[in-house]
């Protein structure tokens, strides 16, 4: 079934007519121009495009971190735009995982407590079996008692990925998740993210500038001037690099 034929509720995340501008009058920038997009479950999608094309704005709106001016966003069958602040906070805590370039771990607590933090904040107990599955998959078993500064960059990012996966969110958003890692460590983290889509059914949406990172995704969406202008299935470094070059023309 192609993405066009699925009803919107069958997607982990979808948006229709998403529009967003910044500034006023002469400084006004149209960051998103009526974007329609849908992300099927258990898929790893990368969003790419030239600087200023609207990638971060799209991701921040989809994740409820920024507010679109108009349009509809559905996450797990729920309408994000109609939620009040409390509902949005709950949605972000329980249905959305985040992996940022800067890891964003709490420095004073160990890896295990960092991984459990979103559940602790929500006042929920963790499912031990799932915790063990995630820890084993990410190779973190012998690092759980270490504080972030006692871990390498790659290990810190694996802790952040584990934290994102632990709530079994509808979607994990990655914002240049390997931007601070060397290429070998980045490749390791990306493989683990891809494994989580294949073996755990996780849906992942990642913004990146790096064709090598994007080649781990199932699909690359291409943006230009606040619009989606194309997509690549089963991307390779070469096909992504070529597509980006033609966008820049």
Ligand X SMILES: Nc1ncnc2c1ncn2[C@@H]1O[C@H](COP(=O)(O)OP(=O)(O)OP(=O)(O)O)[C@@H](O)[C@H]1O
List contacts with ligand X (CB under 6 A). 22-23, 29, 31, 49, 51-57
Length of the chain as a residue count: 249
Question: In terms of CB distance, is 102 or 191 closer to ligand X?
Answer: 102
Name the minimum Å distance from CB 220 to ligand X. Answer: 14
Q: Alpha-carbon dihedral of residues 229, 57, 92, 112, nearest 10 degrees?
A: 100
Name the minimum Å distance from CB 114 to ligand X. Answer: 26
Q: Which residues have a Cβ under 8 Å from the Cβ of 209 and sit 6 or more positions away?
A: 48, 51, 176
Q: Are 8 and 14 in contact (CB under 8 A)?
A: yes
Name the minimum Å distance from CB 60 to ligand X. Answer: 8
Question: In terms of CB distance, is 176 or 188 closer to ligand X?
Answer: 176
Name the minimum Å distance from CB 116 to ligand X. Answer: 31
Q: Are 197 and 44 in contact (CB under 8 A)?
A: yes
Question: In terms of CB distance, is 56 or 89 closer to ligand X?
Answer: 56
Structure tokens at 230: 């194309």
Looking only at the bridges linking them, the beta strands covering 227-233 and 219-224 are: antiparallel
Name the minimum Å distance from CB 191 to ligand X. Answer: 24
Neighbours of 200 (CB within 10 A): 14
Name the minimum Å distance from CB 34 to ligand X. Answer: 15
Question: In terms of CB distance, is 22 or 36 closer to ligand X?
Answer: 22
Structure tokens at 202: 């996780």
Question: In terms of CB distance, is 94 or 225 closer to ligand X?
Answer: 225
Q: Which of 76, 62, 103 is nearest to 167 (CA)?
A: 76
CA pair distance 8, 143, nearest whole angstrom? 40
Question: In terms of CB distance, is 126 or 224 closer to ligand X?
Answer: 224
Name the minimum Å distance from CB 55 to ligand X. Answer: 4
Q: Are 163 and 90 in contact (CB under 8 A)?
A: no
β-partners of residue 75 are 13, 78
């Amino acid at each position: 079934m192609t993405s066009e034929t699925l009803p919107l509720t069958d997607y982990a995340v979808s948006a229709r007519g998403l529009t967003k501008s910044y500034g006023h009058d002469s400084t006004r920038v149209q960051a998103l121009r009526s974007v329609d997009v849908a992300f099927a479950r258990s898929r790893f999608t990368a969003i790419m495009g030239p600087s200023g094309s609207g990638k971060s704005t799209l991701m921040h709106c989809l994740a409820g971190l920024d507010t679109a001016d108009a349009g509809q966003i559905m996450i797990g069958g729920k309408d994000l735009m109609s939620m009040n602040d409390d509902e949005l906070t709950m949605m972000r805590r329980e249905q959305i995982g985040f992996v940022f370039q800067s890891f964003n771990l709490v420095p004073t607590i160990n890896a295990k407590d960092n991984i459990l933090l979103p559940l602790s904040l929500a006042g929920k107990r963790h499912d031990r079996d799932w915790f063990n599955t995630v820890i084993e998959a990410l190779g973190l078993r012998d690092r759980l008692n270490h504080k972030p500064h006692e871990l390498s960059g790659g290990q810190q990012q694996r802790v952040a990925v584990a934290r994102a996966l632990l709530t079994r969110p509808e979607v994990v958003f990655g914002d240049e998740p390997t931007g601070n890692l060397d290429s070998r460590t980045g490749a390791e983290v990306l493989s683990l993210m891809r494994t989580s889509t294949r073996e755990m059914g996780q849906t992942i949406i990642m913004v990146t500038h790096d064709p090598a990172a994007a080649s781990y995704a199932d699909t690359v969406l291409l943006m230009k001037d606040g619009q989606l202008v194309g997509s690549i299935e089963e991307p390779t470094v070469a096909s992504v690099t070529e597509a980006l070059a033609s966008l820049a023309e």
